[in-house]
Structure 1
Amino acid sequence: MTTGSADSPATLYGPVSLFLGVIALAAAVFAGFVGIAIPLLSGSLAVTFGFLGLGRGLGRGLCAAGLLTGGMGVLYPVILVAA
């Protein structure tokens, strides 16, 4: 008997977090051209999905990488504006 599938929408928290974190970091580098809305939005979503994935315990490495890149994508434009 099968106990159920391991596939669930929660398994995608890690890859989505990493993807959004990379987008946030790339957009933060070019914040002068694209503005700061894209890195702030995608970075905050990456941090949110990273925390959700770490809480569920699924794909911890991808979630941690997405959390790191998303956090840097959010903090970089904020620090530039503050300076």
Structure 2
Amino acid sequence: MATGTGTTSADSPAALYGPVSLGLGIVALIAVALSGFIGIAIPLLAGSLAVTFGILGLTRGPHRGRSVIGLATGSVGVLYPVFAIIAFAS
């Protein structure tokens, strides 16, 4: 529990933003690699959630490194299907 020193406690719910962002970012990257088989909905969903939790983790959570990695991998999961749709539509 928090000892009252003014630091973010490791027991707070904000401590989970970084690891959740990292996990969803990895799922988004795997789904991008398999998007020919499973479609683009899973990478878009997992990537957008990873970006959201990554941003929340950067502002509130103690695991900023995991949040940055989750933000980067989640943005790949979001941007790859968008660029694929633009490339194949024209």
TM-score (norm 1): 0.92
1:46 counterpart residue number:
50
What stretches of structure 2 of length at least 5 have no aligned partner?
none
- Give the alignment partner of residue 80 of structure 1, picking from 72, 80, 84: 84
Secondary structure, aligned partner of 1:58? coil
Could you tell me how far 1:3 is from its partner in structure 2? Answer: 2.5
C-alpha root-mean-square deviation of aligned residues, in Å?
1.5
1:34 aligns with 2:38: yes
Q: Which has the higher contact order (CA 8 A, sep 6+)?
A: 1
- Give the alignment partner of residue 59 of structure 1, picking from 39, 57, 63: 63
Corresponding letter in the other structure for 1:3: T
Task: Spell out structure 1 runs of 4+ moving beyond 6 A.
Answer: none
Rg bigger for which structure?
Answer: 2
Distance 1:28 1:36 in 2: 7
1:24 counterpart residue number:
28
Corresponding letter in the other structure for 1:51: I
